[in-house]
Structure 1
Amino acid sequence: MLSVPGSTGTRYRYRPDATVVSMTATSTVEAPALRRVPWLLTVILTGQFMAILDVSIVNVASPVIRADLGTSGSGLQMIISGYTIAYAMLLITGARLGGRYGGRRLFLYGLAGFTAASLACGLAVSAGQLVAFRLLQGAGAALMVPQVLSMIQMNFEGTARARALSLYATVISGAAVAGQVLGGVLVSADLYGTAWRPVFLVNVPIGLGLLVLGARLLPADGPVRHRPLDLPGLVTLSLTVSLLVVPLVLGHEQDWPLWGWAAMAASVAFAGVFVLMERRAAAPLVPLRILRAPGVVTSALAVFGVMATYGGFLFALALHLQGPLGDSPLRAGLTFVPAAAAFAVVSLNWRRIPERLHRRMIIASFGLAALGYLGLALALGGGGHGLPCLWVALAVTGAGLGGAFSPVLAVALTHVAPEDAPDTSGLFVMVTQLGQVVGVATFGTLYLSTGSITGAAVALAVTALATGACALPLLRRR
């Protein structure tokens, strides 16, 4: 069932018999608006794809950017990581603004800001400019991305929602790999002597097209709740996230300085302050009723584990392929295709398994992912590419992660009321992003410190098993 706007502004419900029934009238009408239904996912998931793509696409171009702009190591790190820092820090804010002013409006505003910042990045003439524009690009993504999950939660129900969440998961996995492949292609092509600039400029025509389609075809926002923004909570949470993310992102590059450890310790203190403030807030950022909904906290931990291992896996293996094994960025990116393809296939087809087995499938999928990571350790333990065993291990890993991510989101959203969709979206999108950041920092540092892809892969397997154990409460149906 899908809500779509009528020509008079009345909200309608989509039924499988291809008619639309007014929620305020008894008459059944044909629905020209139904032609807009496929465009909802097309527009919002393409926006999601671009936002995730920009996390990884710049990594491939970093050596060329450094040579062209003459930036320092720390400056290059800020060019790469500034996007992630702003993105992670502002996600909850973006979700709350979407709940206050409407998801459609905030998605389009965020998309416009992201597109404009991408153009500015592509035209930057100094490292300082590029850092500033990357921060703005991350802020635009933070306004846009939380609305995607929110609009799925608010506009889809039942099997339609499960299908939409499967596509959502597929986009997340595919964009992370596509960024490395596309980055390698664009930098290698050196179109008209533009070197690294197309990795940013590629977003501009796509973003402009989405703005036109989104303005015409996205369903109108329903009634919004004009709750207070809880500015003290927003500021405290933003400080908490930034104090955690900044040292995690920059720590290894700067050999884990004292300020980084102090900042992470401070983030724990600020987290405590945030919890105390939220208990007294009239309109908390994450209402307790959401956290008390069956499966939400456990599902959030599971999502964190999936994205931490996936992010760490992509980062550590990319370093190993382009370092000791001497692969080009393009070849390294293509190596991940079996994992992304398996993630997509499982994400799109897990609903074919009987519903009574979905929660068990989540637990089993973490075990499958752990098996894939152990296979990765065995395939690469001999010092070569370990083909074709590497491809098999990658496919098993992707299948395991795909079998956990989509179902766990569906379970989490089952007991969340539509009016709580923006806040729930902000929570899960932030958990997803923080999981990736923590995974890259943890497993990337482990690999860089030891030089052992085998050790990193075993650590990934142990983490996947531990996350599966933490998800066991999901087996208790409510």
Structure 2
Amino acid sequence: MLLITGARLGALLGHRRMFLTGLAVFTGASLACGLAATTGQLIAFRFVQGAGAALMLPQVLSLIQRTFTGGSRARALGAYAAVLASGAAGGQIVGGALVEADFLGSGWRPVFLVNVPIGLLLLILGPRLLHEPADPPRPADPPRHRAEGSAVRRSGLDLPGLVLLAAAVLLFTVPLVLGQERGWPLWGWIALGMSAVLVALFAAYETRLARRGGAPLISPRVVRAPGMPLAVIRIALGMAANAGFLFAMTLHVQGGLGYSPLRAGLTFVPTAVAFGVVGLNWQRLPARWQAVAVPGGFLLAAASFAGTGLVLRGGTDGGPWLLVALTVSGAGLSFAYSPLLTRTLATVRQQDAADASGVLVTAAQLGLLTGVAVFGAVFLGATEGTVPSAGVSADALWVTCVALAGAALCGVLMSLVRRVGNLR
């Protein structure tokens, strides 16, 4: 929930400065996590680590948006998507290897400590390689836009809005994460209802704040950008499907098939490689293919989810067909994500780069969290809370894959709705 605030701080204090600050906080917190003596300490240091990431991550999109234009911006965003996928694959593999190696009986600790030398290297290189972009000119701003921009510079941070939205998200995600484990108690349903109420209060507060000339957490100008609301929903949906698929597959291959952490990590390499290759090259496709890339990507993802569930039914390892299904899933998710991100940011003015980056990154992160919670609950519910055999785990995965395919098809339908709206 600090991602949007992190983006706003970048606009106020400088994207380069906030990227390096967030990187320093993240690196220091990673060291503290690796040395934590109790569970409480680990949770507290993880909170600090998340805050550092929230300061760092949105600056990347903001710097791309304000440094590059035209085709170079699209290529930079494609590289950004490819790096995300490569990092995900590298994290799975390196993390699995570190846990399996158990250096000097350190167990899980190297998973955090490995961030420290990487962070220190980036802190050395960052000041030399990163440059703060100049503020874009604002000569054509209509009076309302000039007023909004002045309000942002005057007011800075919308702390009441942040508190409202954070509380709404907390009340939404905690029941999803704990509901299945606790048997879906009444307090969970009450929390979900309160979350909806707080979302409505947040929207009303932000609207009033903007009308009074204040600086809302989410700028109405960004929300009004062409295609932005639908893009936020589709990005969240795509990331939810991605996270839910990876989480359910991890539970199955480690719990049901008995894979080691390293082998489980290696299983997802085809998905990440395909995601990265498509992210870097989708713009090379003919224009008519690019026009249907997003719905086509969701459709490919739906087919791959169903295919994965089918080839793993019965408790088998899927053989070469699993490799095909995982490759198609990575390609489909990348087609659904990379063009959507590029086109959405292209509709946003450079002056709004920070707000747009914060909104889109937050949507992606909430999608990841929701995907793990929702589809993880589907998988665990299908196993009925037991330690599943390979066959039971495969059946649970099949049910989850059907749900994932349905979610991906929703992304196709959203694209069709948008096309019909454009025709009208």
Counterpart among 400, 424, 446 of residue 378 in structure 2: 446
Cα distance in 2 for residues equivalent to 1:470 and 1:292: 18
**Cα-to-partner distance string for 1:310-329 (whole Å, 9 max, x where unaligned):** 00000001101111211111
Q: Does 1:184 align with 2:96?
A: yes
CA contact (8 A) 1:310 1:439 kept: yes
Counterpart among 250, 258, 274 of residue 326 in structure 1: 258
Look up the match of 1:151: 63
Q: Aligned-pair distance for 1:272?
A: 0.5
Please give the TM-score of this superposition, normalised by the length of structure 2.
Answer: 0.88
Residue 239 of structure 1: SS of its match in structure 2? helix
Look up the match of 1:262: 190
RMSD: 1.8
CA contact (8 A) 1:102 1:222 kept: no
**Which AA in structure 2 matches 1:249?**
V
Q: Aligned-pair distance for 1:250?
A: 3.7
Q: Does 1:209 align with 2:121?
A: yes
Counterpart among 188, 211, 215 of residue 283 in structure 1: 215
Cα distance in 2 for residues equivalent to 1:125 and 1:406: 41
Look up the match of 1:423: 355
Counterpart among 38, 46, 51 of residue 126 in structure 1: 38
Please give the TM-score of this superposition, normalised by the length of structure 1.
Answer: 0.78
CA contact (8 A) 1:234 1:285 kept: yes
**Which AA in structure 2 matches 1:415?**
T
Structure 1 residue ranges without an equivalent (≥5): 1-88
Counterpart among 236, 245, 249 of residue 164 in structure 2: 236
Cα distance in 2 for residues equivalent to 1:167 and 1:332: 26
Q: Does 1:308 align with 2:237?
A: no
Normalized per residue, the structure richer in helix is: 2
Counterpart among 364, 373, 389 of residue 305 in structure 2: 373
Look up the match of 2:16: 104
Cα distance in 1 for residues equivalent to 2:423 and 2:334: 22
Q: How does 1:318-357 map to 2 (within 5 A)?
A: 318-357=250-289
Look up the match of 1:469: 413
Inter-CA distance 395–168: structure 2 relative to 1 (3 Å threshold): same
Q: Aligned-pair distance for 1:473?
A: 4.5
Cα distance in 2 for residues equivalent to 1:275 and 1:284: 10
Residue 2 of structure 2: SS of its match in structure 1? helix
Look up the match of 1:388: 320
Sequence identity, in percent?
Answer: 54
Q: Aligned-pair distance for 1:192?
A: 3.3
Counterpart among 62, 85, 93 of residue 173 in structure 1: 85
Which is worse superposed, 166-175 or 445-454?
Answer: 166-175
CA contact (8 A) 1:101 1:226 kept: no
**Which AA in structure 1 matches 2:80?**
Y
CA contact (8 A) 2:96 2:264 kept: no
Residue 416 of structure 1: SS of its match in structure 2? coil
Q: Does 1:406 align with 2:338?
A: yes
**Cα-to-partner distance string for 1:200-257 (whole Å, 9 max, x where unaligned):** 1111111111111112221125349624112221221222222223333344444444
Look up the match of 2:224: 292
**Cα-to-partner distance string for 1:178-198 (whole Å, 9 max, x where unaligned):** 322211111222223322211
**Which AA in structure 2 matches 1:352?**
R
Counterpart among 200, 204, 219 of residue 272 in structure 1: 200
CA contact (8 A) 1:124 1:130 kept: yes
Structure 2 residue ranges without an equivalent (≥5): 137-151, 384-395
**Which AA in structure 1 matches 2:246?**
L
Q: Aligned-pair distance for 1:428?
A: 0.4
Residue 285 of structure 1: SS of its match in structure 2? coil
Aligned residues: 390
Q: Aligned-pair distance for 1:118?
A: 0.5
Cα distance in 2 for residues equivalent to 1:94 and 1:115: 17
Cα distance in 2 for residues equivalent to 1:371 and 1:324: 23
Q: Aligned-pair distance for 1:472?
A: 2.5
CA contact (8 A) 2:65 2:353 kept: yes
Counterpart among 125, 131, 153 of residue 226 in structure 1: 153
Inter-CA distance 102–257: structure 2 relative to 1 (3 Å threshold): farther
**Which AA in structure 2 matches 1:460?**
L
Cα distance in 1 for residues equivalent to 2:101 and 2:42: 22
Q: Aligned-pair distance for 1:453?
A: 0.8
**Cα-to-partner distance string for 1:332-389 (whole Å, 9 max, x where unaligned):** 1111111111111111110101234323111111111111111112101132111111
Cα distance in 2 for residues equivalent to 1:181 and 1:362: 29
Look up the match of 2:106: 194
Cα distance in 1 for residues equivalent to 2:178 and 2:17: 34
